[in-house]
Amino acid sequence: MASSLTKDPASTAGTGKTFFGHPRGLATLFMTEMWERFSYYGMRALLPLYLISGGVDAAKGSMDGGLAMTAATATAIVSIYSAMVYLLALPGGWFGDRVWGPRKTVTVAAVVIMAGHLCLALPGQASFFVGLALVAAGSGLLKANISTMVGHLYEGPDDPRRDGGFTVFYMGINIGAFVAPLVIGTVGQTYNWHLGFALAAVGMGLGLTQFLLGTRHLSERSDIVPTPLPAEERRSILRKGLLWLAASVVFYGVVVLAGLYTLNWALVPITVIGLIIPVLVLVRIKRDKDLDSAEQSKMSGYIWFFAAAAVFWMIYDQGASTMAIFGETKTTGQVFGMDFPASWFQSINPLCVMALAPVFAWVWVALARKDREPSTVVKFAMGLWLVGASFIVFVLPMATATGDTKVNPMWLVSIYFIQTVGELCLSPVGLSVTTKMAPKKYASQMLGVWFLAVTAGDCITSLLALAGFDLNGTTMVGIEGALAIVAGIAVFMYRKKVKALMGNVH
């Protein structure tokens, strides 16, 4: 850390130090996000394996002590959890904008996340689900606001250091995501599940400590509540929230007393809500009469990108569920004669992102100079083709790994690699096109709308699993892969129409 700091006489920070030539506050946010991602991805690497541990779908000889669920239920829970993290980024951003301000919201979020991991560290199904809900809520609060605080470090969108600052910040995310499965995954999967979850709490605690110690280096704007809630509106929202909470308590109390309650009574409504909300948000924006004709056209074009992204994330996020379970139960778990826990597979994607992101940035610039860079629509089609191809490839090891037969783990490595290439075609471009196509009225909300595509994709996966489709079997994996490829072909075939709807956005 110290070696990365250099003197900068022009800096306005009290110490005159910078972080890779950026404001000193970036170091605080970089480390906070790195540790938060360490806790998040470390816990997620353990999650599906802990859910099936001790059950019929667990690997032979694996450590017991989990919740003994089926692979289908585990896939549904992991998908719902991921969906809720991105869905809750919307109210998380709202809290930062209207209630606490970004800095206080991030502090509260870190405490909530840490409390969630500590609940996961306790044995028992009740504490497990409470912990999962707390981590999802805290992650949603933190996700939007910490990125906002990075932007506050710079003097407006035209500051030449701004893009570079977000690139450095993005590296912190991937460093945390890469290291977490190697540390938390090893401890949790090899020694004790709950000790692994406790390590995730320690990681978030380190992030919170870093944030509190370095908060003086952040912009004063991060303390400001941009559009504070009037007292009457605050009371109205509180009343409505308490009414919905009371109604839920009464409803589920009746279900429990009647002896009807099963886990699906919680999973199915959450999944359906996660599908309905993205649709309602898009419809509300599209039907807003304040939008002019150009903005209406752009929103029509944006729906294509949103739908394509939902299909992409439906498959991509199964890397943490369907593929993770396959890695645990159907691969040899050995490389060069060395055994490794299946949770390590979750480090492949961030490693590939760190290695390939600079290459992709260079390739796009080089192609642009020659006027041969693919359009945004074509890049989306490429992302869909690649993620679809990854599941077509996935069918081969799944078909081979029958009975007690296990396959070489390099199969999964290659599939994660293909998916990462697809992600680099679609995800950064999706973020960019979202900001470019956003109507002025919704400029600050559209990144939250983009995250809802992840919510929609994960909820589709969850709904399929809850409906009884075998997402851990070759048939559904093949169908999903084919669906993504067909969706990519459709996007490509209608590229001229979508470009026309985009107006002056390219």
Confidence label for 62 from pLDDT (cuts 50, 70 and 90): confident
Check if 17-228 and 277-506 are the same fold: yes
User: For the segment 92-147, what is each residue's pLDDT rounded down to a tens digit?
Assistant: 888 888 889 999 999 999 999 999 999 999 988 989 999 999 999 999 999 878 88
Average pLDDT in the 234-247 region?
91
> 10 Å Cβ neighbour count for 117?
28
- State residue 446's pLDDT score: 81
Give the helix, strand, coil percentages of the chain, each rounded to 5. Answer: 75, 5, 20
CATH architecture of 277-506: Up-down Bundle (1.20)
Residue 1 has pLDDT above 60, yes or no: no
Average pLDDT in the 397-409 region?
92
3-state secondary structure (DSSP) of residue 423: helix
Q: Which residues contact 178 (CB under 8 A, 6 or more apart)?
A: 347, 350, 351, 354
User: For the segment 458-467, what is each residue's pLDDT rounded down to a tens digit?
Assistant: 999 999 999 9
Residue extents of the structural domains in the chain: 17-228, 277-506
* E strand or H helix at 18: strand 17-19
3-state secondary structure (DSSP) of residue 137: helix
Confidence label for 423 from pLDDT (cuts 50, 70 and 90): very high
What is the dotted CATH code of the domain comprising 17-228?
1.20.1250.20
> Whole-model pTM?
0.91
Confidence label for 378 from pLDDT (cuts 50, 70 and 90): very high
Average pLDDT in the 279-293 region?
90
Average pLDDT in the 430-445 region?
81
- ∠ Cα 149 155 158 (to 5°): 110
> 10 Å Cβ neighbour count for 226?
12
Plot region of 21 (φ>0 → left; ψ -120 to 50 → alpha; else → beta): left
* Residue bearing tokens 């303390």: 223
User: For the segment 170-228, what is each residue's pLDDT rounded down to a tens digit?
Assistant: 888 999 999 999 999 999 999 999 999 999 999 999 999 999 999 999 988 889 888 88
- State residue 29's pLDDT score: 92
